[in-house]
A and B are shown apart, each in its own frame.
Chain A
Amino acid sequence: MRHLLQRALQSRTFYWNGLSNLRTCAQGFRLYSKLDQFCYPVSLKGQHCLNKRDFRSGYFQSANCSLSRSCYTNVTTSQDLKSENEEVLKDASEDCPVLEAISYWTREFETAGVPEPDASAEYIAAHVLGYKSFSLISPLVRNLTAEEKTKVWKLCEKRMNRMPIQYILGEWDFRDLNLVMRPPVFIPRPETEELVEHLWLYLQEDLTREEEDLDVLEVGCGSGAISLSLLQEFPQACCTAVDVTKEAVELTQHNAERLGLGDRLDVKQMQFNTSADFGTKFDVIVSNPPYIWTEDMETLEQEIVGYENHCALHGGTDGMGLIRDIIHIGHRLLKPGGSIWLEVDPRHPDMIQTYLNNHLQYQLQLTGVYQDFNNRPRFCCLELRE
């Protein structure tokens, strides 16, 4: 480590401003403490700072003060390096350090008002270097080759046009799976991971499930995230996934084949309405239906409005359009003891309760409302009355 750092310092590939962009405070801190240990007699006063901003400021202060006392006089200050490197970055044929590229693009994104500027630049750089996330890279080791640099520049240009990161990279993770993402198919959100988690726990508790088959219907499958996760975690499960758009159906099929789960998944392109007939009944109907209210559609970010399919987002004036359909049609498709699992808007659980109270003929009961990681009521479990 000492050797590496010294080399880095001498070859000037390592400069302070670049470090400020370290995505992970933990990593930065680790790096810093190594530096501290090997190069500088001054130590960072603060404890492990987990707030990124705190970390940066604290880090800079002590870094500067370390520098001023440092015996490594050949390290130029960041100001000098900045101008020098701007030129290096513009020249496409030259290698450039990863950290510099990232800091350059972070600044660009910031000025252009792109959300999550630092994370965007880091994900793109990591992707080009063949990593999933920036914290897995040792940032001092490697320079971007000219080819990689061109790639980064190309992808970052896309981000400047507000394309979601998931579409730019063409793939993203959902729970344990890696899924292909393709516009305009809806990108699964972290909340949906939690929906699967709750459903998973619910099914685990039911011990008799182990021997029995598990038939699942997913309404509005998008990239197939929910169905594929369930298939992966329950080897006895069989899924039917339906979606109204052709792109979604194709992408789900593609992802299923890529993950080797295609034989237990049946994907259908269809409108989920009263004429829907599956010839079988299901233990579970799960859905992340479009639930955004018409009035909210205008407030969405450019990434969402501009790239994602509106029919995967817009749920009618009260966001309940498909939810009502699922209740109306779904209750007939459930096996005895079956349940419907939905991800909804925080306002919806109460509305669903009222709706079920007014429509007792569906024999459905809202038995569970779960909160997401922001503590908003997000997930509903509807069980068929015995």
Chain B
Amino acid sequence: MIFRSLRYVGVVVHKPACSPAFIRCLSGGGGRWKWHRHPPISWLRPVTVFQRLIPQPTRRVITNTQTFSTAAKERTFSLQNEGTWRYLKRLVTEGQAVIDKLQTEEKTETENKRLTKRWVELRPIVEKVQQVERTLGELADIEKLLAGLEDGETEMRDLALQEKESYENDMEHLEDEILTLLVPADEADENDIILEVVAGVGGQEAMLFTSDVFEMYCQYAAYKNWHMQVLTSDSSTLGGLRHATASIKGLNAYKLLKLEAGVHRVQRVPRTEKSGRVHTSTMTVAVLPQPKEIDNTWDKSEFKIETKKASGAGGQHVNKTESAVRIVHIPTGVAVECQQERSQIRNRAIAMQTIQARLYQRKLDQQRSQRQLARQQQMGTAGRSEKIRTYNFTQDRVTDHRAGINMFNLQDFLIGGDKLDEMIHTVQQHLHREEVLLIMEQDTIQQKKL
């Protein structure tokens, strides 16, 4: 949700006003900054999404945050964005057209299948958009009511405000849901994963940090109730980790953790450092989906079955003992021959089984090489500049460079609980927005072409 990202954006704006010394003094010397952990809500409600859709004279706005949110609005997905709204409207129109066609016209079977598939995709979006329109209508009514109220009717005003609040909440959720619907699902989202951490540049310090991060993910897995099993780990003499892998099984494991893949940078005074200088080191995280049980079903038409052709009329006219069968999978060219049985139909069954096993193996191999590729991309060169996130201990701050957000209280973050979860969700939202924006842009271009 936009608020979540803005929350940290807002915090950033406030933050530089406090010097590190100030922070230390607030936290009582422990480097912790407890009161910031649950900031008062009033701080964090900078701008509501539909603020511009409805006139709100009584709105309290923190000015600093507003400038930020306006900037954010232009490059992210949001319902106030005219382009978004236009895109959604277009989807709704298309949905209407599809359903009309489905109900009325005579169609071929393939056409029917295509339309049904499209409708299944569009239906939730259409429904949500209708819901948004309804909620907006309700909100407009409440605004009218509020404007018409006399000063004395406080009770009525309170009620109206309460209702407005709840509708605004609904809007937040709706925007969230629409965003999720617009993002195309990753095929591997449901898969289990293999998490791999490798120390990058920075020697022993990098290994120590790798160990910290790995521990963070272990705790995060526990927090998420995932089943985690450490597969390999290679420790260094100082208690760091050169390299470790773990398999994680659980709901949405890949969906969430795939965002953690990349180079993580740490800036701190290492334990190994004697003169107190701050070092910068890196470690990399790779997240690879494990292959699921693949459907062993291939279309019958993909196979060409060859048998020894009987010359002449066949059937009772001939008595051939030749029972060899050869099956070719046309798309891949994989061929299997079987002649160990005297019954042709048995040979055919065996050959079919064999070829399916071969094709399955092939698919697995392909998946494996794809994973290999994904791993290489994620690992990158482990240089200091390719980072996705920085852990700055001296400022007690975590910065995610993709979404451009900061979070404070590093120790809490490294526990791998709420904070990490929020960070991941924020980044996810951010990336989703970017992705949807891209889709919308492409759509606009396509529409123009048409």
Contacts and interface: CB of A to CB of B under 8 A. Distances in A.
Given A26-B337, A346-B313, A374-B314, A190 B345 contact: yes
Top 6 nearest A-B pairs (CB, nearest first) are: A190-B344, A193-B345, A173-B343, A173-B342, A373-B307, A135-B340
Contact of A166 (B317, B321, B322, B337): B321
Given A50-B335, A166-B321, A373-B307, A343 B343 contact: no
Nearest to A313: B316
B317 A173 contact: no
Q: Which has the most chain B C-beta neighbours within 10 Å: A175, A193, A308, A374?
A: A374
B318 interface: yes
A189 interface: yes
A186 B316 CA distance: 9
Contacts of B115: none
Nearest to B340: A135
Contacts of B316: 186, 189, 288, 290-292, 304, 312-313
Contacts of A328: none
Interface string B323-335: 1001000000001
A240 interface: no
A172 B343 CA distance: 8
B277 interface: no
5 contacts: A164-B319, A173-B343, A189-B315, A190-B307, A194-B345
B163 interface: no
A386 interface: no
A374 B309 contact: yes
B317 A296 contact: yes
B323 A190 contact: yes
Interface of A: 23-26, 48, 50, 115-116, 119-120, 123, 132-133, 135-136, 164-166, 172-176, 186-187, 189-191, 193-194, 197, 288, 290-292, 296, 299-301, 303-304, 308, 312-313, 343, 345-346, 372-374, 376, 378
Contacts of B322: 116, 119
Contacts of B323: 190
A345 B315 CA distance: 8
Contact of B315 (A115, A164, A191): A191
B326 A119 contact: no
Nearest to B348: A373
Nearest to A191: B315
A268 B326 CA distance: 40
B312 to A, nearest CB: 8
Nearest to A378: B315
A123 B321 contact: yes
Nearest to B315: A191
A133 B323 CA distance: 10
A50 B342 CA distance: 19
Given A116-B321, A345-B313, A373 B344 contact: yes
A361 B388 CA distance: 82
A374 B310 contact: yes
B402 interface: no
Contact of A175 (B318, B321, B340, B343): B343
A172 B314 contact: no
A291 B317 CA distance: 9
B320 interface: yes
B315 A176 contact: no
Contacts of A23: 339
A301 B318 contact: yes
B319 A303 contact: yes
Contact of A24 (B335, B339, B341, B346): B339
A165 B321 CA distance: 8
B72 interface: no
Given A119-B321, A299-B312, 7 more contacts: A135-B340, A175-B343, A190-B345, A191-B315, A193-B343, A313-B316, A374-B309
Contacts of B342: 123, 132-133, 172-173
B346 A189 contact: no
